[in-house]
Amino acid sequence: MMGRNSRPRVPAGNAGGQQRVVTFKVAADVAAFLDGMPNKSDFIRKALLSALLEPCPVCHGKGSVPRSLRLDLQRLFQKHQFVPCSFCGYEFPLGSERSHKSESDRERLRQYLGGGDFYCNDCFSKTETCADCGERVAHPRMHGHRRKHRKRR
């Protein structure tokens, strides 16, 4: 026999396929407002999730995290210097990047510390070396980068 607290937990977003009906009391004017909505259940679900979750500080709000985790992540970010990848935009701890030992990691960091763009390891593999200045540039941005050199001449 399973106790009340021993039921399997279903993650938010109905990942397990199970749904339950939840009822609660509201003022008459709120009920009238909800009754006028085309899909009040969807509205209530989204409102509850937005009240429980906050924008993720790591991915700048592309995702959501519980409030307690957001505070922990913010504290972590305040302790470390983070640098955003010039291509994907995700931020990486500079201290950890300095500890990487491969030649491509050293080249990525040398470029950034020399005043150039910073690329994470994944995006650095999508770069090519500019024949004019020697800087590594993400392939989709190389055309615009070369255009800058032509304007300077």
Domain boundaries, the chain: 23-79, 81-152
Q: CA-to-CA distance for 84 and 119, rounded, in angstroms?
A: 8
**pLDDT tens-digit series, residues 28-56:** 999 999 999 999 999 998 888 777 888 87
DSSP, res 21: -
Contacts of 43 (CB under 8 A, 6+ apart): 34, 37
What per-residue confidence (pLDDT) applies to 29?
Answer: 95
Point out the residues of the chain with pLDDT beneath 70: 1-16, 58, 60, 77-80, 152-153
What per-residue confidence (pLDDT) applies to 10?
Answer: 38
Tokens of residue 16, six digits: 């397990």
Q: CA-to-CA distance for 149 and 132, rounded, in angstroms?
A: 7
In the block, which residue shows the tokens 């291509």? 87
| Backbone torsions φ then ψ of 151, nearest 5 degrees | -70, -30
What per-residue confidence (pLDDT) applies to 153?
Answer: 61
Q: CA-to-CA distance for 31 and 40, rounded, in angstroms?
A: 10
DSSP, res 4: G
Degrees, nearest 5: CA angle 85-89-91? 65
Q: How far is CA 110 from the centre of its chain?
A: 26
